[in-house]
Amino acid sequence: MSIENGLLNKAGEILSKQTPLLTRDCLDELVRTVLTRRELFLDIVSRHGSPLYIVEPHVILDRAQTFSDIFRQEIPGLELFYAVKSNHHPALVSILARNGFGLDVSSGPELELAVESGAEKIIFSGPGKIDPELHQALAHSDRVTVLLDSFGELERLDRLATEAGVTIRAGIRLTTSDDGLWRKFGILLHSLPELFATAEKSSRVSLEGIQFHTSWNLNPDAQSRFIEKLGEALKELSPRRRGQINFLDIGGGYWPPAGEWLLSAGTPEGRLRQDILNCVDSPLSHHCLPAATPETFARVLGDALKKYIYPHIEPARIFAEPGRWLCNDAMHIALTVVDKKQRDMVVTDGGNNIIGWERFETDYAPVVNLSSPGLDEHPCHIFGSLCTPHDIWGYAYHGTDIGPGHVLLIPNQGAYTWSLRQEFIKPPARAFVMDSTITNSLSNITTGRKANL
């Protein structure tokens, strides 16, 4: 088969597998939820301006408690560690720490934040930890467990711990991919016995567990498959080595139940039409990759642990590191329309430096006009104020009209927005943090506070 025929066949295959559409009922439900709180959001923006992050710490706490409760029904005693990289806003981190949840950090600054928040259980993961970061971990060895990313990191941690006269708990990070970019993380599964043997020579690094992480988990299949592979590897370890394993960290990457919402340009078939035919689909065409419920994640992973892991290291403590699942709905972005340049084009006062990248060229989130409310969605290019054409928030809005002075809300933007914000052309937005006692009632909004963080 020629390359050209192969390309044509592949293109035909992509076009034949249409990404599921986002249902109108699902979209309307979210927009209605926003509009029931319309006066609250408008009042916040009138008093604190825009662009503005609106932070709801009680939401992330509720999500953490829900996640923990559901998983513990299938995996008793599961310990939850919030992945700080998904959103490191201090209000979100501290409310979890104060309520007894652990924190998963990936850098020195995140570790410092976790310590300041009062977290009693901290996992320090991530590749390329530098010596000053390892010194930080050693300074708080009473509450930090270091996930070793390589043999070299074990050697450096052992040397630094010996110099400091400190013993620190550690785990081994395993890569879930033998090739490609994801092999950056951790060691290969077949190297597990060798790292155990190397760690035995250390008197200051106490090897106590294993961790792996698969990302972008719309369902538990990838995690379940690796648990099976890990079970085979554990079976080959000596009973003494297996006895060292006090915890198994099954990572994070859990996608929120609403699924992944995409514009046509974010789908394989949409990209193909755009790249080859320069054909852009309707701005009102939205797609959704469905995600498994937390109950499904818990049941499937619990069954995999019982079948493949517990016969070898029961009773192991099980850790999980959700990030996006917890913080996604805990932050919203408010903007104000500055200019209406054409009937179908407006410019707002906030640029996508607020979220760090050109997310809404492919991802979809509803833009809700709080000033002129309505469920119907109308085509309109909604740009930010940066000096780049890629600074766009969406291609449609929910409302009856749009114009200068109108306040727009993009809901549920807590995951990988605040953490990726940057000072490109304009400064990042300010944040308004709601007190946990706030309700939807306007009479309570005075308990909020503004945070210039």
All structural domains of the chain, each given as residue ranges with its CATH number in brackets, are 21-55+328-451 (2.40.37.10), 58-268+291-326 (3.20.20.10)
**Which contiguous run of DSSP H or E holds residue 78?**
none
Task: Identify residue 127 by its one-letter amino acid code.
Answer: P
pLDDT value at position 1?
Answer: 59
- Strand 79-83 with 317-320, pairing: parallel
pLDDT digits (tens, 9 = 90+) for 296-351: 999 999 999 999 999 999 888 999 999 999 999 999 999 999 999 999 999 999 99
pLDDT band at 178 (very low <50, low <70, confident <90, very high): confident
Task: Identify residue 40 by its one-letter amino acid code.
Answer: L
Nearest-CA neighbor of 11 among 283, 270, 278? 270
pLDDT digits (tens, 9 = 90+) for 227-277: 999 999 999 999 999 999 999 999 999 999 999 999 999 998 888 888 777
Residue 163 has pLDDT above 50, yes or no: yes
pLDDT value at position 314?
Answer: 82
CB 183 within 8 A of CB 220: no
Helix (H, G, I), strand (E, B) or coil at 162: helix
CB 164 within 8 A of CB 176: no
Q: Which residues contact 9 (CB under 8 A, 6 or more apart)?
A: 1
Mean of pLDDT values over 86-104: 98
Which alpha helices (DSSP H) does 200-350 contain, by range?
221-236, 239-243, 268-277, 294-304, 310-313, 324-327
CB 106 within 8 A of CB 84: yes
**Residue listed under structure tokens 């319309």:** 38
pLDDT digits (tens, 9 = 90+) for 259-270: 999 999 999 888
pLDDT digits (tens, 9 = 90+) for 120-158: 999 999 999 999 999 999 999 999 999 999 999 999 999
- Strand 407-410 with 102-105, pairing: unpaired
CB 331 within 8 A of CB 369: no
CB-based burial label for 151 (10 Å; 0-12, 13-18, 19+):
middle
pLDDT value at position 244?
Answer: 93
**Residue listed under structure tokens 């991530």:** 126
pLDDT digits (tens, 9 = 90+) for 345-373: 999 999 999 999 999 999 999 999 999 99
Stronger pLDDT, 440 or 283, i.e. the higher one: 283
List the beta bridge partners of residue 347.
Answer: 339, 383
pLDDT band at 101 (very low <50, low <70, confident <90, very high): very high
* DSSP annotation of 127: S
pLDDT value at position 436?
Answer: 59
pLDDT digits (tens, 9 = 90+) for 53-89: 999 999 999 999 999 999 999 999 999 999 999 999 9
Distance CA 122, CA 145 (A): 6
